[in-house]
A and B are shown apart, each in its own frame.
Chain A
Amino acid sequence: MEKKLPTIEIIEKYCKGCHICVEFCPTKVLEMKGFVASVKNLEACIKCMQCELRCPDFAIKVSA
């Protein structure tokens, strides 16, 4: 069965580039693209929601 991938929405207008989501993602799904976070490897996402929980800027939304 094909793995259902989550969608990770990053609101670039809100992101202040603090690196928290990138550093604390256990499977290194995110990376910094310039000053904002972006999705690098969606396949690796385990939907732990840590990035969404820890984003202080309300910039990440993960939907499983």
Chain B
Amino acid sequence: MAFDYDKYIRPGKLPHIWCPGCGHGIVMKGLIRAIDTLGLDKNNTAIVSGIGCASRLPGYLDCCTLHTAHGRAAAFATGVKMAKPEMNVILCGGDGDGTAIGGNHFIHACRRNIDMTYIIMNNNIYGMTGGQFSPCTPTGAKASTTPYGNPDPSFDVAQLAIGAGATFVARGTAYHATQIDKLIVEAIQHKGFSVVEILDDCPTTYGRRNKFKSVIEMMNRLKDVAVPVKAAEKMTAEQLQGKIITGVLHKVEKPEYTTEYAKVIERAQK
């Protein structure tokens, strides 16, 4: 049977606003399948986002949703989780929203290890605002604000999250659609702050400026650069040049913030 996505989508919201070939729709499908697999209660699941193309995602989902200020998804979501620790909190947003404008909130949410799942759709650019370069735009790539090539080195979102203290970090791509929901399921199940970076394509503002002839070419690039963690272990540094490792990259157990905070409340009330 075909999977019934309509059960999780607000009636009358489709077709969505994303451009033809944009991978955000594929990620949203993955998220819906993950929510279905885990059997999460729609009324006890909060989807929080900031501003941007990827951040439009909660608007389509029939869960408790919060569309907040640019980059502030982590801040608002922390508030939701602290007020209702039993709630499943899922954040979504793009690379610009998460690592530039909301970079500070992102690293501190990682540091606190609060039990939330952050899905970062990394399409290497600020799509909605007009194709400005983001911290994830590769060096040399063209954007509307770097017409002669981007001189900045780019962020590795997964490494940033690991460095900041996130206890679960995974990476997938929009091409590998079956993997997305598995990674999200594992991330939601993990007790602590989990980050799932999904490499995405932006054919409109990134692809056109960077000589990608079509959406298919962008999807094939994702297919070519992705190397699963297990395969990467057997490869040399030279072979891994220009490749991106996908799968579960980091998983450790650490004290979770809401549980620790409950202890603080208990101590204070003694």
How many residues of B are in contact with the other chain, CB < 8 A?
A: 27
A44 at the interface (CB under 8 A from B): no
Residues in B neighbouring A57, C-beta threshold 8 A: 14-16, 18, 20, 25
Q: Are B215 and A52 in contact (CB under 8 A)?
A: no
Residues in A neighbouring B219, C-beta threshold 8 A: 20, 23-24
CB within 8 Å of B: which of A47-62? Answer: 50, 52-58, 61-62
B83 at the interface (CB under 8 A from A): no
A16 at the interface (CB under 8 A from B): yes
Q: Are A16 and B177 in contact (CB under 8 A)?
A: no
How many residues of A are in contact with the other chain, CB < 8 A?
A: 22
A53 to B2, CA, bound (A): 10
CB within 8 Å of A: which of B1-29? Answer: 1-3, 5, 9, 14-16, 18-26, 29
A15 to B219, CA, bound (A): 18
B214 at the interface (CB under 8 A from A): yes
- The binding surface of chain B is classed by DSSP as loop
Q: Are A13 and B15 in contact (CB under 8 A)?
A: yes
B128 at the interface (CB under 8 A from A): no
B178 at the interface (CB under 8 A from A): yes
B181: nearest residue on chain A (CB-CB)?
A53
A63 to B4, CA, bound (A): 11
Q: Are B15 and A53 in contact (CB under 8 A)?
A: no
A9 to B6, CA, bound (A): 14
Q: Are A54 and B26 in contact (CB under 8 A)?
A: yes
Q: Are B2 and A56 in contact (CB under 8 A)?
A: no
Q: Are A52 and B15 in contact (CB under 8 A)?
A: no
A59: nearest residue on chain B (CB-CB)?
B15
B6: nearest residue on chain A (CB-CB)?
A58
Q: Are B177 and A64 in contact (CB under 8 A)?
A: no
Give residues in A with beta carbon < 8 Å to B: 9, 13-14, 16-20, 23-24, 50, 52-58, 61-64
Give residues in B with beta carbon < 8 Å to A: 1-3, 5, 9, 14-16, 18-26, 29, 174-175, 177-178, 203, 214-216, 219
